[in-house]
Amino acid sequence: MPGTEPETLLAQATSGDCAAFIQIYDRLAPQVLGVIQRVLADFEASERALEDVFVKLWGEAPQLVRARVSVAAWLMLAARAYAVERLRQRAGGSSSWPLHQEESGFLDQSLAWMPDAQAIGLLDDRRALLRKVLGQLPRPQLRSLELVVFEGRAETELAGDLGEPLARVKTELRAAARFLRHRRRAVVGSWTVDI
């Protein structure tokens, strides 16, 4: 069933339709692996993590279907969280990072705020415009944001990495988040917005 939405396929998978689950994999695995690889920069480790994320999707499927969340959003956010956790373990750090992700039920709690398929569909439809917006983010803000997203740096660590006061780092990160939020609202709100 080419073109069937991942949410429909996941619902089919909960009743034992493995072919439906594999369709989700075929459609979304490259994007998910891209995210993991960006974090881990190790192809073999990234593929192992990809396996884990999809196996986890299988395990979580009934809850995700009930909550009507976007499968793509769950996969991408779970993959990023999982990859950062692996990165931190690899670094041997005793960071508190996983506390709110795996250990404290990040993914369970995420069902309360995970976007639905309609919201994610709007973003997918406007991907080109949104990519253009990212290019408008001031370089220092983008760099700081990327360090948090892809290297799992916390604000305090980032201040040390960049040799900047924590207050400035916080301000920059929040400014980046605010910019993205406002621009995303504009882009998904109108096709004709002048970006």
Partner 1 sequence: MDCRYLEDAYEIYLLGGLERAQQEELHEHVRQGCAYCRHELREAAENLYWLLQNVAPVRPSAAIKGRILQRLSSSTILGTGSRKTNRPPKKAQARRG
Shortest separation between residue 140's beta carbon and partner 1, angstroms = 16
Q: Which of residues 117-136 bind partner 1 (CB under 8 A)?
A: 119-120, 123-124, 127, 130-131, 134
- Beta-carbon-side half-sphere exposure of residue 123 (alpha carbons within 13 Å): 16
Q: Does 140 bind partner 1 (CB under 8 A)?
A: no
Q: Which of residues 160-189 bind partner 1 (CB under 8 A)?
A: 173-175, 177-178, 180-181, 184
> How many H-runs (helices) and E-runs (strands) does the chain carry?
10, 0
Among 11, 40, 65, 114, binds partner 1 (CB under 8 A): 114
Q: Does 141 bind partner 1 (CB under 8 A)?
A: no
Q: Tell me the one-letter amino acid at 100.
A: H
Among 9, 21, 23, 117, binds partner 1 (CB under 8 A): 21
Give the integer Cα–Cα distance in Å for 44 and 50.
10
CA Rg value for the chain: 18
Shortest separation between residue 7's beta carbon and partner 1, angstroms = 15
Helices (H), 71-165: 71-91, 106-110, 117-125, 127-134, 139-151, 155-162
Q: Which of residues 35-74 bind partner 1 (CB under 8 A)?
A: 35, 37-38, 43, 46-47, 50-52, 54-56, 58-63, 70, 72-73
Give the integer Cα–Cα distance in Å for 120 and 123.
5
